[in-house]
Chain A
Amino acid sequence: MPDDTSPTAPSPAGLPGEPHPEYRARALEEALVERGWLATGAVDARLRRAADADAGTVHAAGAVVVARAWTDDAFRSRLLEDATGAAASLGFGGGHGERLVALAQSAEVHNVIVCTLCSCYPTALLGPPPEWYRSDEYRARVVREPRAVLAEFGTVLGDEVDVRVWDSTSEVRYFTLPQRPAHAAGLDEAGLRDLVTRDSLIGVRLLDQARAG
């Protein structure tokens, strides 16, 4: 788990002849602070916010949006029509003015998101992307062999399912609207939120699988 306070003990992990990246990062921070370009503590504050967003509540905003869509048909329609506006109506928005687009999962259609060029991701709803999402393996492979990649997450789809991969090449940020799981009968909106996983909104896992998001 990311720890926002204690550096890992520097080890010879950098390129040969280069100081450990912890030292290089702190050297950059120190120079920028001393020259007046950054406020003291700005880097640690930002790091702490990202670590908090990555902690237990990583997908909190996304879960609120999905649970509302599961319980309110008008909201669901609006979300699929204008996800930016629907999310904003609940207080969530893209920090850089990105446009949000929601993709509905169904028995017939399965959507999965990627950014093959860098690591564009719906941060406003899901926090910082997981390391696997930034990995070269995911970026290279999921556009070409999504079924094989999904199987590595334990998601095996039938041949009849229309698999749609969305490469985030503009300022549009995609997320999926998972199907409401069969075991969710009788739960209220708050209970439904607890079922929603980050990985289901990326599209690499289904909610009827074991909860491993």
Chain B
Amino acid sequence: MDAPYDLGGRSGYGPVPVGRGRAWSEHWEGLAYALGALVAQASGINNDALRHAMDTLDPELYRTSSPAGRWLAVAQRCAIEAGLVDAAELADRAARRAGGLSALDIDAYPEPVASRAPGPAPAHSKRDPPAGRRPRFAVGDRVRVDGRRSTGHTRLPGYLRGCRGEVVADRGFWVFPDRHAHGQGEAPTFVYAVRFAAGDIWPGAGTHHVHADLFEPYLEPTDA
């Protein structure tokens, strides 16, 4: 079963809601997006770990929630996991609000248990390659995408697994999300824009091309 967030190319979806052209419809949805960003800053979680928190939401919750509902769940989860607030406290505060009751005194709630040190907002993730580190691929090279499935966070969309394409641009040297999301250091690496013929991904899909920015460890050389 593929991760619910990895949606590219999945079948069974209906018309795009083209009329929903604003950032959100209901007030709480705007709150959810604001909270997601602010909780990420307050908890010191890096962008990749934040995305991983979204990736690993309960699949049923992901499928049945709107994008804003997913962000609210991620904000709650990150705040709890960083030890900014206790889960029972959040549930009680929400229930009291729904019941028209005022909040309890903060001392009535258990002290949150920090699982990680909150820190400053994450730094940018572009790096300078160390002397002597050269990109493995050049524009024009044919590459094959790793066909294996990742068990952790990845920025490799499932629909490209095992596909062959052509490098069309060098995007520079960046922190590697597959490691960084799991607290395994930055492990920066080169990123390439790779072009794929749609018909090579989905037989019969037509004549268009799909491009994705892929991290060097996802790719291997190929002559095909």
Which A residues form the contact surface with B (CB < 8 A)? 1-4, 6-8, 10, 13, 15, 18-32, 34-35, 37-38, 42-44, 46-47, 50-51, 53-54, 96-97, 99, 101, 114, 116-119, 127-132, 134-147, 149, 152-153, 159, 162-172, 199, 204
Instruction: Return the CB mask of B145-170 against A: 1 if under 8 Å, else 0.
Output: 00000000001110100000000010
> How many contacts between A and B, using CB within 8 angstroms?
264
Tell me whether B117 is interfacial, beta carbon within 8 Å. Answer: no
A29/B16 contact (C-beta < 8 A), A35-B112, A167-B210 known: no
User: How many of chain B's residues have a CB under 8 angstroms from any CB in A?
Assistant: 89
Contacts of B94 in A (CB 8 A): 18-19, 23-24, 26-27
Beyond A99-B171, A142-B16, list 15 extra A-B contacts (CB 8 Å).
A24-B90, A25-B28, A28-B76, A31-B89, A47-B34, A101-B169, A116-B7, A117-B157, A118-B51, A131-B25, A143-B198, A169-B156, A170-B215, A172-B171, A199-B21
Q: Is the beta-carbon distance between A43 and B93 smaller than 8 angstroms? A: no
Q: Which one of A99, A119, A146 contacts B67 once the chains associate, using CB atoms below 8 Å?
A: A119
Chain B interface mostly helix, strand, loop or mixed? mixed
Answer yes or no: B116 CB below 8 A from chain A CBs.
no
Residue of B nearest to A127 (CB): B23
Q: Which residue of B lies closest to A109 (CB)?
A: B209
Q: Is residue B30 within 8 Å, beta carbon to beta carbon, of the partner chain?
A: yes
**In the complex with contacts A38-B42, A169-B156, A50-B27 CB distance below 8 A:** no
The 10 closest A-B CB pairs, nearest first, are: A97-B124, A116-B8, A170-B213, A27-B93, A131-B20, A19-B98, A163-B208, A27-B94, A128-B23, A22-B28
